[in-house]
Each structure stands twice: as C-alpha cells, then as structure tokens.
Amino acid sequence: MAQAGAQPAEVNPYAQYLNFIILAVMFLLFYLILIRPQQKRQKERNRMLASLSRGDKVITIGGLHGTVDQLTDETVVLRVGDGVRLTFDRQAISTVIKDKK
C-alpha cells in the first residue's frame, strides 16, 4: 500500500531494441575478428595449392621438406632424397619455400 502513491519509473522507448543491438554488435565483432581472417587465409591457401608446379620446394604439414616431382588433381609426388619419392595428398602441402634470389 505504501507504493500506491509512487509514480512508475520512466521506460526508455528504445529498451526493447537494446538486446537486438547488442547481439548484432557481438555478431559483427565475431565476424570481423574470427570469420573474415580465416576466410582470407583459406583463400590464400587454396591459391597456393592451385599454383603448385613441378620443381617447387615445399614443406608438408608433417614437416617434411621436398621438391615437387609430379602433380595430379588430388596428389603430389615429392622428391625428398636421392631416388626417394613420396606421394602425398595435395592438401598435405603446408608451405611453398620461396627462393631468395
């Protein structure tokens, strides 16, 4: 009964949109910090794998260093020593080593 004479608190007309705005800002930050850089890295990796050619020096994801000897759409044959050739999936190539000329 003591509250019967009290006036109601003012309600912000934009309060109903506040949760939506916070959620949208969080999604935008998530996209800018995590998703977009990962997409750029994946696009660059695909470009690198597509541009592989015979004679390129590469490193596999397991750390093996070798020279590309043969290429197919799915596999890469690496020459890793005198007469030693190993076959890998193309996706197993991690890095192409750039020659410093």
Tell me the C-alpha to C-alpha distance, in Å, between residue 89 and each of 3, 33, 61, 73, 94. Answer: 75, 31, 11, 9, 11
pTM to 2 decimals?
0.69
Residue 78 β-bridge partners: 68, 86
Fold observed for domain 53-101: SH3 type barrels. (2.30.30)
The distance from CA 61 to its chain's CA centroid, rounded to whole angstroms, is 15
Q: What is the largest CA-CA distance in the chain?
A: 96
* Dist. CA 58–CA 67, nearest whole Å: 6
pLDDT (tens, 9 = 90+) of the chain, 101 residues, equals 555 556 666 777 777 789 899 999 999 999 999 999 999 999 999 999 999 999 999 999 999 999 999 999 999 999 998 989 999 999 999 999 987 65
